[in-house]
Amino acid sequence: MRAAIFNKPGDITLGNRPDAAIVAPTDAVVRVVQACVCGSDLWYYRGDSPFEPGDPIGHEFIGVVQDIGAEVRGLARGDLVVAPFAYSDGTCVHCRYGITTACLHGGFIPAGNGDGGQGEAVRVPLADGTLVKVPGSGHSDEMLASLLTLSDVMGTGHHAAVCARVTAGATVAVVGDGAVGLCGVLAAKRLGAERVIALSRHPARQDIARRFGATDIVADRGDDAVAAVTELTGGVGVDATLECVGTGQAMQTALAITRPGAMVGFVGVPHGVELPIGQMFRRNTGVHGGPAPVRAYLPELLDDVLAGRINPGLVFDHTTDLDGVAEAYAAMDERRAIKSLLRVSTI
C-alpha cells in the first residue's frame, strides 16, 4: 500500500509499505479516508526531534473499518471512525480517570514500527477502546474535515482549555495561532468564555480565530504581547491561558499574562521551555498540560460537531492527496498553510 515515509528532515515522500493487517485479535484495520499533517510532525520535519529514517509518519486520520480482529466487539466492517492519535484500552485505571494518553496498555500512532496515519490504511491496536464510530451517513466534505480534527487538534485545544480551567464568563488568552491554538479559541468559547484574546500576527489565522469566537486579537509577540494583553485586561491579566506552541517564549508570555491565582494549560510539546518557579510561586500561577486524552473528550466534541455547533474543520486551508504529501508538509513548514488535509479515499 502507499504511505508517507520520513526519509530525513525536510524530506517526506510517498512510498510503498506492506498492506496494513490484523496482528492482535484486538486490532482493527482502518482504510484512511482523510488524514492530515500535525504541527508536531513539523518538529521531525525540521529536525528538531528525532525520527527514524524510512519509517511511516502521521497520526491524525478518519476512515472506514476494513477488517477487525477476532476479539473486537464494538465495531464492524464499514463503520466510519475517528482515530485518536493515541490508542488506549478504555478500561484501565488511567483511562477510567480520563487520561487515555497514559493507558497502561496504550501507545501512540504509528504504533511500534506499524502504520502511519498518512497512508492508505492503518492497523489500530485496541480498536474497541480507541476508535469512535461516527453515526449517520452521507457526511459532507466540510463535516468530514471537522471530524478529522477530532483525531487530535480539536481535542488538544480542548485539553488546553480544560487544563487552564476555563469557566463560563472567563477572560481567556490563547498563545499560538496554529491549528491547535485556533481550536483552543473554539474550545474556550465552547466552554463559555466571555472574552477570548487570540495572539496572532497572521491575517488569515486572525480571521479564523474571530470566526471561532475570539473577541480580541493581539498581533504582538514577547514583551509587547504581554503589555498589550495586560492593557486589554485593565492590568489584571487573564483568568486562563492556553499555551499552544511549546517554546520557551510562548510559555514565558503565557505565564506573564495570566492573572495571579490562575492557570496556564499547555499542550505544545515543550522544546526549550524552562518554568520560572520563583515567578510562578510569587504570583500563584500554575501550569498543567500534556498529550491530550483526545479519546476521553471525543464523545462530547463529536456531538457538537455532528450538530453543527462547532466547525473546527475551518483550520484546514490546504487540501491535497497522498501524492501531494511533500507539498502538504512544505506548505505548513513555510507557514503558507495553517494545516494540510490529505484526501486519501472516499467513504
Taking CB under 8 A as the rule, does residue 194 contact a copy of itself? Answer: no
Contact flag: residue 199 with a copy of itself (CB under 8 A):
no
340 binds a copy of itself (CB under 8 A): no
Closer residue to a copy of itself in complex, CB, 101/149: 101
Selected binder of a copy of itself within 3, 287, 331, 342 (CB under 8 A): 287
The rounded distance, in Å, linking the Cα atoms of 197 and 71 is 47
| 111/17 Cα distance (integer angstroms) | 15
Name residues whose C-beta falls within 8 Å of residue 29's C-beta, 6 or more positions apart in sequence. 20, 21, 22, 65, 66, 67, 68, 121, 122, 123, 124
Q: Does 232 bind a copy of itself (CB under 8 A)?
A: no
236 binds a copy of itself (CB under 8 A): yes
CB 161 to a copy of itself: min, Å: 14
Region 67-126 residues binding a copy of itself, contact defined as CB under 8 A: 93-94, 97-99, 101-102
The piece of 71-79, 148-156, 206-214, 289-297 that touches a copy of itself (CB under 8 A) is 289-297
Give, as ranges, the residues between 150 and 179 that touch a copy of itself (CB under 8 A). 163
Between CA 251 and CA 156 the distance in angstroms is: 17
Q: Output 7 or 49, the one with its CB closest to a copy of itself.
A: 49
Q: How far apart are CA 29 and CA 63, in angstroms?
A: 10
* Helices and strands in the chain, H and E counts: 12, 17
User: Got the DSSP string for 17-37?
Assistant: -PPP---STT-EEEEEEEEE-
Cα 4 from Cα 181, distance rounded (Å) = 26
**Residue 169 Cβ, how far from a copy of itself at the closest point, in Å?**
13
Closest approach, Cβ 218 to a copy of itself, in A, equals: 20
- Among 2, 105, 283, 343, indicate the residue that binds a copy of itself (CB under 8 A): 283
Residue 330 is a binding residue for a copy of itself (CB under 8 A) = no
- Residue reference for cell 491554538: 181
Cα–Cα separations (whole angstroms), residue 123 to 21, 63, 228 = 6, 11, 48
Secondary structure element (H or E) that encloses residue 141, with its range? helix 141-149
Residues lying near a copy of itself in the complex (CB under 8 A) are found at 93-94, 97-99, 101-102, 163, 234, 236, 259-261, 263, 266, 269-270, 273-275, 277-278, 280-291, 293
